[in-house]
């Protein structure tokens, strides 16, 4: 940046000195403005025309631009519009310096997005106050943006399960409530699958808690990989339990998803020498499919899937059961992945 960029001589020892870009073709004007700004504790960059201003702006992203309305290579207004159209994460104010103060000119100043103006001959006291106000506005805006980003990150954190990186229980309940009501309005089927890892206590006892954590992460990843529709939600429902919400999905669709997940877990083949049903980690699952009654509560589908899961456990594990309220009948299936693979 060479001579265009001057290090600050702070009068009040500020460490977070804001940067002001001066755009004026007259070296004398730039010099005077620079002195005033440095006395106020700002860092200063300079440009002698519009093209240089755009270059310097892109590199340094100043908080404020003091822009002369008359430039040798383009109109100050055009330059202002160009500067403000540059995509920047930083908020920049433009203060125009004009020769006259007529209505048309003032309208143009604000039309191109400048925040304020001063007229020549410059009243230094007025300029100092306007610069201070605009810098404060810019800093406030930056703080707001940062706070907003932080909030967004926190909002994501409170909906994600830390260990497995799928949705947490809180997000699950929020989502199933929303989808339950949507399916009730549209009179469409909602399916829910609850998975529970078989003999997981003995897995931890055999391989250690850290290996248990790793297994849970892998299982969550596999379930997530199988699920295809954007509206499907995988969540960690409890310790070694996962839930899968499938909107607009009937019995057949949900059964297909459960089968694909069973196969994928079989392929994952995490050894479990102390499982009583397989040499590998297996899942049991309870499925439920319901077209919700308007005004009813989503607890209904959780209870139905939970009951089916209980039945799958009672039936020997490594299988899934479907509690199908859709056709007012129970459709229980025992699909042992190990058995399918042996038969196939």
d(CA 334, CA 290): 20
Tokens of 7: 């290090």
- Note if the bond before 230 is cis, omega within 30 degrees: no
Interaction pattern, residues 270-309, with Mg ion; x per rule: CB under 5 A: ----------------------------------------
Closest contact distance (angstroms) between CB of 242 and Mg ion is 10
Residue 256: name its binding partner from Mg ion, ligand GH3, none (Cβ under 5 to 8 Å by kind): none
122 versus 315: smaller Cβ distance to ligand GH3: 315
Q: How far is the CB of 164 from ligand GH3 (least distance, A)?
A: 9
286 near ligand GH3, judged by CB under 6 A: no
Between residues 249 and 284, which has the closer beta carbon with respect to ligand GH3? 284
User: How many Å from the N-terminal Cα to the C-terminal Cα in the chain?
Assistant: 72
Min dist CB 220 to ligand GH3, Å, is: 11
Identify the residue among 36, 97, 176, 197 touching ligand GH3 (CB under 6 A). Answer: 197
Q: Which of residues 238-267 bind ligand GH3 (CB under 6 A)?
A: 239-240
Contact of residue 232 among ligand GH3, Mg ion, none (CB under 5-8 Å per partner type)? none
Which 304-323 residues touch ligand GH3, going by CB under 6 A?
313, 317
Strand partners, 247: 190
How many residues bind ligand GH3 (CB under 6 A)? The answer is 16
Least CB distance to ligand GH3 at residue 262 (A): 15
Question: For the chain, how many helices (H) and strands (E)?
Answer: 11, 11
Active-site residue, from 38, 63, 179, 240: 240
**117 binds ligand GH3 per the rule CB under 6 A:** no
CB of 6 or CB of 204, closer to ligand GH3? 204
Position 196 contacts Mg ion (CB under 5 A): yes
List the structure tokens of 311: 């039945």
Residue pair 206/274 in contact (Cβ under 8 Å)? The answer is yes
> Helices 251-268 and 209-226: crossing angle, nearest 10°?
140
| Side-chain-side CA neighbours of residue 116 (13 Å) | 17
By beta-carbon proximity to Mg ion, the closer residue of 208 and 239 is 239
Contact mark string toward Mg ion, 224..243, x via CB under 5 A: ----------------xx--
271 burial via Cβ count (<10 Å: 0-12, 13-18, 19+) = middle
Give Cα separations from 239 to 20, 51, 169, 224, 310 (angstroms): 55, 61, 10, 17, 16
Tell me, yes or no, if 179 is annotated catalytic.
no
Q: Segment contacting ligand GH3 (CB under 6 A): 42-50, 124-132, 208-216, 253-261?
A: 208-216
CB closer to ligand GH3, 132 vs 313:
313
Token duo for residue 256: 């297909």
CA atoms of 164 and 98, how far apart (whole Å): 60
Q: Smallest gap, in angstroms, from Cβ of residue 198 to Mg ion?
A: 6
Long-range contacts of 322-328 (CB under 8 A, 24+ apart): 322/251, 322/254, 322/255, 322/286, 322/287, 322/288, 322/289, 323/286, 323/287, 323/288, 324/251, 324/287, 324/288, 324/289, 325/288, 325/289, 325/290, 326/189, 326/250, 326/251, 326/289, 326/290, 326/291, 327/251
Q: Which is nearer to Mg ion, 92 or 275 (CB)?
A: 275
With beta carbons less than 8 A apart as the criterion, state whether 100 and 119 touch.
yes
Tell me how far, at minimum, the Cβ of 165 lies from Mg ion, in Å: 20
Q: Which residues bind ligand GH3 (CB under 6 A)?
A: 163, 196-201, 204, 209, 212-213, 216, 239-240, 313, 317
Active site residues: 240
The residues that touch Mg ion, with contacts defined as CB under 5 A, are 196-197, 200, 240-241
């Amino acid at each position: 940046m060479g001579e265009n960029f001057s290090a600050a001589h702070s009068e009040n020892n500020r460490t977070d000195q804001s940067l002001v870009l001066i755009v004026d073709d007259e070296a004398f004007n730039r010099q005077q403005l620079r002195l005033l700004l440095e006395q106020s504790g700002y860092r200063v960059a300079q440009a002698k025309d519009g093209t240089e201003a755009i270059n310097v702006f892109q590199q340094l992203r100043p908080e404020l631009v003091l822009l002369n309305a008359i430039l040798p290579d383009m109109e100050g207004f055009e330059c202002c519009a160009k500067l403000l159209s540059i995509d920047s994460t930083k908020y920049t104010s433009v203060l125009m310096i004009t020769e006259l103060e007529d209505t048309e000119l003032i309208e143009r100043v604000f039309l191109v997005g400048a925040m304020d103006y001063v007229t020549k001959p410059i009243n230094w006291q007025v300029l100092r106050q306007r610069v201070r106000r605009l810098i404060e506005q810019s800093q406030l805006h930056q703080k707001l943006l940062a706070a907003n980003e932080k909030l967004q990150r926190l909002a994501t954190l409170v909906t994600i399960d830390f260990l497995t990186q799928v949705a947490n229980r809180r997000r699950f309940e929020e989502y199933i409530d929303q989808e339950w009501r949507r399916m009730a309005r549209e009179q469409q089927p909602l399916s829910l699958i609850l998975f529970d890892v078989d003999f997981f206590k003995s897995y931890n006892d055999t391989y250690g808690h850290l290996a248990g954590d790793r297994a849970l992460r892998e299982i969550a990843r596999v379930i997530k990989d199988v699920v295809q529709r954007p509206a499907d939600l995988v969540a960690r429902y409890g310790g070694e339990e996962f839930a899968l919400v499938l909107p607009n999905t009937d019995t057949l669709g949900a059964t297909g998803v459960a089968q694909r997940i069973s196969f994928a877990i079989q392929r994952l083949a995490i050894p479990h020498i102390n499982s009583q049903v397989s040499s590998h980690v297996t899942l049991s699952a309870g499925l439920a499919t319901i077209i919700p009654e308007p005004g009813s509560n989503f607890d209904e589908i959780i209870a139905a899937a939970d009951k089916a899961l209980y039945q799958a456990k009672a039936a020997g594990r490594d299988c899934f059961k479907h509690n199908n309220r859709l056709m007012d009948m129970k459709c229980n299936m025992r699909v042992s992945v190990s058995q399918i693979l042996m038969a196939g």
